[in-house]
Amino acid sequence: IVIGAFALIVIFVFLFRLITNMSERSVRILTLALFAFIILAFAGILIFFSYISPTKDSHIMLDESVYLAQHPDQVFTADSFYTDYYEIYGNTYFFVFLIRGFISFLNIFGISGYQLALYILNCIMLCLGILFAFMAAKRVLGIRQACFLLLLFAINPVYYGMAIWPYSSSFSIPFMT
Protein backbone atom coordinates (compact mmCIF):
# COMPACT_ATOMS: atom_id res chain seq x y z
CA ILE A 1 0.00 0.00 0.00
CA VAL A 2 2.83 2.38 0.87
CA ILE A 3 4.60 1.65 -2.41
CA GLY A 4 1.36 2.16 -4.34
CA ALA A 5 0.67 5.46 -2.59
CA PHE A 6 4.22 6.60 -3.29
CA ALA A 7 3.87 5.61 -6.95
CA LEU A 8 0.65 7.63 -7.23
CA ILE A 9 2.31 10.67 -5.71
CA VAL A 10 5.21 10.38 -8.16
CA ILE A 11 2.77 10.06 -11.09
CA PHE A 12 0.74 13.08 -9.93
CA VAL A 13 3.86 15.22 -9.51
CA PHE A 14 5.05 14.16 -12.96
CA LEU A 15 1.69 14.99 -14.58
CA PHE A 16 1.38 18.33 -12.82
CA ARG A 17 4.90 19.32 -13.84
CA LEU A 18 4.16 18.22 -17.38
CA ILE A 19 1.08 20.45 -17.49
CA THR A 20 2.99 23.33 -15.89
CA ASN A 21 5.64 23.18 -18.62
CA MET A 22 3.20 22.83 -21.53
CA SER A 23 2.45 25.63 -23.94
CA GLU A 24 -0.94 27.32 -23.78
CA ARG A 25 -2.00 25.55 -26.98
CA SER A 26 -0.95 22.15 -25.62
CA VAL A 27 -2.89 22.77 -22.40
CA ARG A 28 -6.01 23.53 -24.45
CA ILE A 29 -5.53 20.34 -26.49
CA LEU A 30 -5.02 18.33 -23.29
CA THR A 31 -8.17 19.89 -21.85
CA LEU A 32 -10.20 18.74 -24.85
CA ALA A 33 -8.60 15.29 -24.65
CA LEU A 34 -9.47 15.01 -20.93
CA PHE A 35 -13.08 16.05 -21.60
CA ALA A 36 -13.26 13.46 -24.39
CA PHE A 37 -11.78 10.81 -22.08
CA ILE A 38 -14.33 11.56 -19.36
CA ILE A 39 -17.26 11.41 -21.78
CA LEU A 40 -15.98 8.18 -23.35
CA ALA A 41 -15.44 6.67 -19.90
CA PHE A 42 -19.04 7.46 -18.94
CA ALA A 43 -20.22 6.01 -22.26
CA GLY A 44 -18.20 2.86 -21.61
CA ILE A 45 -19.68 2.52 -18.15
CA LEU A 46 -23.18 2.87 -19.61
CA ILE A 47 -22.43 0.27 -22.29
CA PHE A 48 -20.80 -2.32 -20.05
CA PHE A 49 -22.49 -1.77 -16.68
CA SER A 50 -26.01 -0.54 -17.40
CA TYR A 51 -27.41 -3.97 -16.55
CA ILE A 52 -26.55 -3.39 -12.88
CA SER A 53 -29.58 -2.37 -10.86
CA PRO A 54 -29.08 0.10 -8.06
CA THR A 55 -29.72 -1.05 -4.53
CA LYS A 56 -30.77 0.59 -1.29
CA ASP A 57 -31.46 4.34 -1.53
CA SER A 58 -31.23 4.66 -5.30
CA HIS A 59 -33.49 1.64 -5.80
CA ILE A 60 -36.05 2.91 -3.29
CA MET A 61 -36.15 6.30 -4.99
CA LEU A 62 -36.46 4.79 -8.49
CA ASP A 63 -39.09 2.26 -7.40
CA GLU A 64 -41.24 4.91 -5.75
CA SER A 65 -40.82 7.30 -8.71
CA VAL A 66 -41.88 4.66 -11.23
CA TYR A 67 -44.88 3.71 -9.11
CA LEU A 68 -45.99 7.33 -8.74
CA ALA A 69 -45.50 7.97 -12.47
CA GLN A 70 -47.60 4.92 -13.36
CA HIS A 71 -50.29 5.82 -10.80
CA PRO A 72 -50.69 9.61 -11.03
CA ASP A 73 -53.65 9.55 -8.64
CA GLN A 74 -51.46 8.17 -5.82
CA VAL A 75 -49.73 10.33 -3.23
CA PHE A 76 -47.42 9.70 -0.31
CA THR A 77 -49.41 8.51 2.64
CA ALA A 78 -48.58 7.23 6.09
CA ASP A 79 -49.11 3.67 4.89
CA SER A 80 -46.90 3.93 1.78
CA PHE A 81 -44.37 1.14 1.43
CA TYR A 82 -41.31 3.38 1.91
CA THR A 83 -42.75 5.75 4.52
CA ASP A 84 -40.15 4.76 7.11
CA TYR A 85 -37.35 5.53 4.67
CA TYR A 86 -38.72 8.96 3.77
CA GLU A 87 -39.23 9.84 7.41
CA ILE A 88 -35.51 9.31 7.98
CA TYR A 89 -34.26 10.83 4.70
CA GLY A 90 -36.67 13.63 3.97
CA ASN A 91 -34.30 15.27 1.48
CA THR A 92 -35.31 12.72 -1.16
CA TYR A 93 -38.96 13.80 -1.39
CA PHE A 94 -38.22 16.45 -4.00
CA PHE A 95 -35.90 14.12 -5.89
CA VAL A 96 -38.60 11.43 -6.10
CA PHE A 97 -41.02 13.92 -7.63
CA LEU A 98 -38.34 15.20 -10.00
CA ILE A 99 -37.66 11.66 -11.23
CA ARG A 100 -41.41 10.99 -11.35
CA GLY A 101 -41.71 13.93 -13.75
CA PHE A 102 -38.81 12.61 -15.84
CA ILE A 103 -40.41 9.16 -16.04
CA SER A 104 -43.79 10.71 -16.94
CA PHE A 105 -42.00 12.64 -19.69
CA LEU A 106 -40.48 9.38 -20.98
CA ASN A 107 -43.94 7.78 -20.92
CA ILE A 108 -45.23 10.47 -23.30
CA PHE A 109 -42.77 9.19 -25.92
CA GLY A 110 -43.37 5.53 -25.11
CA ILE A 111 -39.91 5.01 -23.59
CA SER A 112 -39.98 2.31 -20.95
CA GLY A 113 -36.24 1.87 -20.25
CA TYR A 114 -36.36 4.03 -17.16
CA GLN A 115 -33.17 2.72 -15.61
CA LEU A 116 -30.94 3.35 -18.64
CA ALA A 117 -32.56 6.74 -19.26
CA LEU A 118 -31.92 7.67 -15.63
CA TYR A 119 -28.29 6.50 -15.91
CA ILE A 120 -27.84 8.67 -19.00
CA LEU A 121 -29.41 11.66 -17.25
CA ASN A 122 -27.17 10.99 -14.25
CA CYS A 123 -24.05 10.97 -16.47
CA ILE A 124 -25.19 14.23 -18.07
CA MET A 125 -25.54 15.80 -14.63
CA LEU A 126 -22.09 14.57 -13.60
CA CYS A 127 -20.55 15.92 -16.82
CA LEU A 128 -22.29 19.26 -16.27
CA GLY A 129 -20.78 19.38 -12.79
CA ILE A 130 -17.32 18.79 -14.27
CA LEU A 131 -17.90 21.44 -16.92
CA PHE A 132 -19.13 24.03 -14.40
CA ALA A 133 -16.21 23.33 -12.04
CA PHE A 134 -13.79 23.61 -14.96
CA MET A 135 -15.31 26.90 -16.11
CA ALA A 136 -15.18 28.34 -12.59
CA ALA A 137 -11.56 27.25 -12.13
CA LYS A 138 -10.63 28.66 -15.53
CA ARG A 139 -12.22 32.00 -14.73
CA VAL A 140 -10.70 32.29 -11.26
CA LEU A 141 -7.33 30.54 -11.66
CA GLY A 142 -6.66 30.27 -15.39
CA ILE A 143 -6.62 27.50 -17.97
CA ARG A 144 -3.59 25.68 -16.54
CA GLN A 145 -5.07 25.21 -13.06
CA ALA A 146 -8.45 24.35 -14.60
CA CYS A 147 -6.66 21.63 -16.56
CA PHE A 148 -5.16 20.33 -13.27
CA LEU A 149 -8.68 20.14 -11.86
CA LEU A 150 -9.93 18.37 -14.95
CA LEU A 151 -7.11 15.83 -14.62
CA LEU A 152 -8.22 15.11 -11.06
CA PHE A 153 -11.78 14.55 -12.27
CA ALA A 154 -10.55 12.29 -15.07
CA ILE A 155 -8.62 9.98 -12.73
CA ASN A 156 -11.19 9.89 -9.91
CA PRO A 157 -12.74 6.40 -9.88
CA VAL A 158 -15.47 7.39 -7.42
CA TYR A 159 -16.91 9.83 -9.93
CA TYR A 160 -17.28 7.07 -12.51
CA GLY A 161 -18.88 4.79 -9.96
CA MET A 162 -21.57 7.41 -9.41
CA ALA A 163 -22.67 6.98 -13.05
CA ILE A 164 -24.71 3.90 -12.20
CA TRP A 165 -25.92 5.23 -8.86
CA PRO A 166 -28.53 7.88 -9.71
CA TYR A 167 -29.32 9.68 -6.50
CA SER A 168 -29.75 13.18 -5.15
CA SER A 169 -26.01 13.46 -4.41
CA SER A 170 -25.00 13.03 -8.06
CA PHE A 171 -27.87 15.08 -9.48
CA SER A 172 -26.99 18.02 -7.23
CA ILE A 173 -23.34 18.23 -8.34
CA PRO A 174 -23.93 20.80 -11.14
CA PHE A 175 -25.70 23.07 -8.67
CA MET A 176 -22.90 22.89 -6.10
CA THR A 177 -20.13 24.15 -8.39
Closest by CA to 122, choosing from 61, 172, 49, is 172
Q: Is the Cα torsion angle 85, 91, 93, 95 positive or negative in sign?
A: negative
Per-residue pLDDT tens listing for the chain (177 residues): 788 889 888 988 898 899 999 999 999 999 999 999 999 999 999 889 877 777 677 777 777 777 777 777 776 666 666 666 666 766 677 787 888 888 888 888 888 888 888 889 999 999 999 999 999 999 999 999 999 999 999 988 888 888 888 877 788 888 887
Residues 28-37 pLDDT 10s = 999 999 999 9
Distance CA 54, CA 137 (A): 33
C-alpha to C-alpha distance for 61 and 175, rounded to whole angstroms: 20
Using only the alpha carbons of the chain, give its radius of gyration.
20
pTM: 0.83
- H/E stretch holding 91 reads none
